[in-house]
Structure 1
């Protein structure tokens, strides 16, 4: 098991499917190798972008063990856990660990809108069930439960709750976390359209979406910003923003998979009930992608910064 350092760029990768709706591990590996070559710091499986809600349990198992083999110790593999019950979450954590995951991204309970006390208890119970490091996924916009600063105060008792994927959309929350907890929790931004802004405010990393199609550009922005080359980072980010906006809609999976096709590192297949984009919607997304690729910036030698 690799040690997880919660900083840098962590792609929330898409799950690839064949035309007959099986896991497409060949195309998946093509994408993973592109991520590694671009210099990402970890791989996150089974998030929203990974179509976790549509995956069977045995597929999740296969995905974790296959990814661990693909990265062969270069970066940690993080499994997202999004379950309705504490019992199911503990079971998912056990399986992830058995299959070689080095860390977890953990959502609050799904479906049931737990109150603050229930949510804290949920996180603590799962943290106590494992020695894997945990990143709290704080996304009240999509999942209706906010993990507040007072709740983080209680979660600080669990040593293996180490970081937060900050997706509240409130950019000030990064400063609040740092002011209150110093470096106790690593803060990673989880919203593509606030990526660079969050890094400027002191975020340690970026759990990214469009990185799936544009790994080099995403890592370049991160590395340039951390090296104090703000103007260069900003220039690439301004080019990137129309593409990043494809991440903040309910069709983000379809959008990003189309972008992966355009950059040669993915396929369009999604799993029902999702359907491929069609008509005017598809035309618009392809136009955004085409414009982005046409104006793709020259990148400096960011890996050696």
Structure 2
């Protein structure tokens, strides 16, 4: 299922007391839609899902669905390492009217491939929502193998994968074996163009908060056959993409948004804001780029 080529893994805006700020969320949504975003991933890693309560996630889902009002797909992060809890949140998100669910590989429990398969299959069987798998071994420890992703792709409503493994060989194998309507998205900004070049659909992006227009231009240049221009844009944007991960995400991107006069607040513990030194390095790079 094609959700668009540039999906933004949206940060969750907080107020001065670190509560979700829905007014700032509205402002951020409009900003992103004006700067190339084709779809929104909410309450994912970048949205600080581990520190959002069940009720906060539902309030966020409801608000974003209302504000977006069908203009772009809204994909809700409803997965965690508890299968029953994932089912419940996914079902509630479906009632609210999100367009799809993003299900992360269960972290900490360390299930084997059969456990991973059964987890995703069980959640998928309890919802009519299209499901995007989220393969992120650097955070979850466990990794979906090519074989497991291909097997899961045969379940009717498992329609896509966000792959943050960084393994282009594995991603090539996935693309070779899944059906044409199963989409593969890069989970790493810096691999957007390489993954697109082997048949990927696009990217679930953090950097699009800051360079969304430029990233969309790069993707569209490649799709138009302007490969050298796309590569030139990739090289130009790469330092920004890398800088936004100089510290655990989303601390850098929230700092970058504030520097651009989009106040999305700070991060919740156990994450911490950038140090003054890190902030100055980030701001210097942003000034140089602009």
Q: Which secondary structure state, in structure 2, belongs to the residue aligned with residue 38 of structure 1?
A: coil
- Name the counterpart of 2:111: 114
Report the more deviating stretch, 251-260 or 146-155.
146-155
- Name the counterpart of 1:298: none
Q: Provide structure 1 residue ranges, at least 5 long, that are not aligned to the other structure.
A: 294-305
Q: Tell me, in whole angstroms, the C-alpha distance in 1 between the residues paired with 2:193 and 2:115.
A: 33
- Name the counterpart of 2:160: 163
Question: Which one of 200, 212, 226 corresponds to residue 223 of structure 2?
Answer: 226
1:201 Cα deviation after fit: 1.7
- Name the counterpart of 1:141: 138
Q: Tell me, in whole angstroms, the C-alpha distance in 1 between the residues paired with 2:245 and 2:164.
A: 11
Q: What TM-score, normalized by structure 1, do the two folds share?
A: 0.90
Question: Which one of 258, 268, 274 corresponds to residue 261 of structure 1?
Answer: 258
Q: Which secondary structure state, in structure 2, belongs to the residue aligned with residue 79 of structure 1?
A: strand
The answer to whether the 8 A contact 1:82-1:110 is kept is: no
Q: Tell me, in whole angstroms, the C-alpha distance in 1 between the residues paired with 2:199 and 2:261.
A: 33
1:233 Cα deviation after fit: 2.0
Q: Deviations over 1:53-81 (max 9, x none)?
A: 11121111111111011111101110112
The answer to whether the 8 A contact 1:135-1:161 is kept is: yes
- Name the counterpart of 1:52: 49
Question: Which one of 88, 92, 116 corresponds to residue 89 of structure 2?
Answer: 92
Q: Tell me, in whole angstroms, the C-alpha distance in 2 between the residues paired with 1:47 and 1:266.
A: 20
Q: Tell me, in whole angstroms, the C-alpha distance in 1 between the residues paired with 2:89 and 2:246.
A: 27
Q: What TM-score, normalized by structure 2, do the two folds share?
A: 0.94
The answer to whether the 8 A contact 1:268-1:276 is kept is: no
The answer to whether the 8 A contact 2:184-2:200 is kept is: yes
The answer to whether the 8 A contact 2:161-2:185 is kept is: yes
The answer to whether the 8 A contact 2:107-2:142 is kept is: no
Q: Tell me, in whole angstroms, the C-alpha distance in 1 between the residues paired with 2:243 and 2:128.
A: 36
After superposition, the Cα gap between the structure-2 partners of 1:178 and 1:228, relative to the gap in structure 1 and judged at 3 Å, is: same
Q: Provide structure 2 residue ranges, at least 5 long, that are not aligned to the other structure.
A: none
1:289 Cα deviation after fit: 2.2
The answer to whether the 8 A contact 2:107-2:141 is kept is: no
Q: Which secondary structure state, in structure 2, belongs to the residue aligned with residue 165 of structure 1?
A: strand
Question: Which one of 72, 77, 81 corresponds to residue 78 of structure 2?
Answer: 81
After TM superposition, the structure 1 = structure 2 runs for residues 183-222 of structure 1, keeping only pairs within 5 Å, are 183-222=180-219
Report the more deviating stretch, 11-20 or 51-60.
51-60
- Name the counterpart of 2:273: 276
Q: Tell me, in whole angstroms, the C-alpha distance in 2 between the residues paired with 1:129 and 1:116.
A: 20
The answer to whether the 8 A contact 1:114-1:145 is kept is: yes
1:137 Cα deviation after fit: 0.5
Question: Which one of 104, 122, 125 corresponds to residue 122 of structure 2?
Answer: 125
Q: Which secondary structure state, in structure 2, belongs to the residue aligned with residue 214 of structure 1?
A: helix
After superposition, the Cα gap between the structure-2 partners of 1:282 and 1:38, relative to the gap in structure 1 and judged at 3 Å, is: closer
The reply to whether residue 292 of structure 1 matches residue 283 of structure 2 is no
RMSD of aligned alpha carbons: 1.7
After superposition, the Cα gap between the structure-2 partners of 1:265 and 1:230, relative to the gap in structure 1 and judged at 3 Å, is: farther
The answer to whether the 8 A contact 1:42-1:76 is kept is: yes
Q: Which secondary structure state, in structure 1, belongs to the residue aligned with residue 34 of structure 2?
A: helix
Work out the number of aligned pairs and report it.
290
Q: Which secondary structure state, in structure 1, belongs to the residue aligned with residue 250 of structure 2?
A: helix
Q: Tell me, in whole angstroms, the C-alpha distance in 2 between the residues paired with 1:210 and 1:229.
A: 22
